[in-house]
Amino acid sequence: MELHHAIKRRGALGFFASANSADGFYSLYGEAYNEDDFKRLYILKGGPGTGKSTLLDSLAARAERDGYEFETLLCSSDPASLDGIIIRSLGIAVIDGTPPHSQDPRYPGVCGEIINLGEFWDGGILRRERRELETLFSQKTESYARAYRLLSASGIAARDVIRAYERAEEREKMEAAVGRLIKQLIRREETGPTVRRFLTAYSIKGKVRVDTLERAAKTTVTVSRTHGFGYLYMRTLYEASASQNIRMTAAPDALLPEFYEAIYYPDDGVLVKVADDDVYEAGDIRVNCGRFIKNEPIRADRAKLRFSKKASDSLTDEALISLSDAGATHAKIEEIYKGAMNFDGVTETEKKLEAAIFG
């Protein structure tokens, strides 16, 4: 699994702020990079291969050297690249503001500031490669479009399974169990807003996941997946926690963002997560979701559910192939842009930005 090395830096928390989902490109940029939360928001512009991720990594290295805690936001399409860095104690965020997560300043010059790395490319070189670039961009667009069609179909099949379990759930029994779990493990000494970040991405490198919350947790509660029923348990837990204004970091499922694969309570160091194919780690507290299901409705639909589950998995696998194709095409595009860049100018911009942030 190839993830950008910045998430291993001392003080770093690694997440995704977007996902390639059944609903298309699903972005949490508006939450992660809300200008109201920062003194300064720097938005990087420029084409592929212009040095945005390298600049972000340089800032992460400086934050590590200076002893800051910070978030590194990985690119959900290419997790070996960075999409942003947030240094909360300085009130600073620096992000990649190019498509598909385009972002412009809401308060230009007041908080948001655009840094255009495209000013350092040689337009003449790029224009000479126009036909090749047009072909490559078209191929990349079609690969992504196919991937999204397949993920959409996968989501339809996955939701079909969850809806069947939803009809069979013993709602009151599950709500009571969730209430007991919160009472047992969550002290609720602090209240606060919910932070949403993705832990998993369907990417050009395959399906990848960061273990940020597992490494932070003191106590881990693992919920059995049971063909998707675990997500209904997590939805109930999320709603109960939100109704009590309990501070949490909630990780939406990358395929079905309306559900959650994990919820972390930072004040208590408690992580509740859906098991990966019902595999448990030693020391986990386990929640068996089978006890909240009425068996008779499921038994009657078992063959249909097996079909939908297999269809969803197969469609996702094929989507990952198309994402890999998009990645191979993107690499060719990057090489052309790199050949047109004056990286001395990028380095100088990086130094000025570092001085503005860190002094």
Report strand pairing: 260-265 vs 248-252: antiparallel
Model confidence pLDDT, tens digit, residues 258-314? 999 999 999 999 999 998 765 666 667 899 888 898 888 788 788 888 999 999 999
Domain count, the chain: 2
- 56-89 pLDDT tens trace: 999 999 999 999 999 999 999 999 999 999 999 9
Tell me, yes or no, whether 96 and 176 share the same domain: no
The DSSP code for 288 is -
Instruction: Answer positive or negative: Cα dihedral of 136, 141, 147, 149.
Output: negative
Helix ranges (H only) for 110-170 are 123-128, 130-168
**What is the C-alpha to C-alpha distance for residues 264 and 40, in angstroms, rounded to an integer?**
28
Task: Of 29-43, 84-98, 279-293, give the lowest mean pLDDT range.
Answer: 279-293
Q: What is the pLDDT of residues 195-212, one digit of tens each?
A: 999 999 999 999 999 999
Q: Are residues 351 and 281 in the same domain?
A: no
Other residues' Cβ atoms within 10 Å of the Cβ of residue 70 = 23
3-state secondary structure of 174: helix
Please say which residue of 293, 312, 330 terminates a domain: 293
Are residues 114 and 31 part of one domain?
yes
What do you get for the CA distance between the two ends of the chain, in Å? Answer: 36
Residues 240 and 180 in one domain: yes
pLDDT mean across residues, the chain: 93
> Would strands 270-274 and 285-287 be described as parallel, antiparallel, or unpaired?
unpaired
User: How far, in Å, CA of 19 to CA of 254, rounded?
Assistant: 6
Give the separation between CA 192 and CA 201, rounded to whole angstroms: 27
Tell which residue, 196, 56, 161, 194, has the closest CA to residue 115. Answer: 56
- Tens digit of each residue's pLDDT (9 = 90 or more) over 98-114: 988 889 999 999 999 99
What is the tens place of the pLDDT at every residue in 147-191? 999 999 999 999 999 998 888 899 999 999 999 999 999 886 667
Q: What is the mean pLDDT of residues 228-244?
A: 93
Q: Answer yes or no: is 179 within a domain.
A: yes
What's the pTM value of the predicted model, to 2 decimals? 0.94
Structure tokens at 176: 């009571």
* Domain co-membership, 178 together with 235: yes
Cβ-proximal residues to 105 (8 Å cutoff; 6+ apart), any chain: 35, 41, 43, 111, 112, 113, 114
Q: How do 248-252 and 92-96 pair as beta strands? A: unpaired
- Residue 120: count of CB within 10 angstroms of its CB: 19
**Domain housing 37:** 5-121+342-358
CA distance 13 to 30: 19
pLDDT-derived band of residue 131, with 50, 70 and 90 as boundaries?
Answer: very high
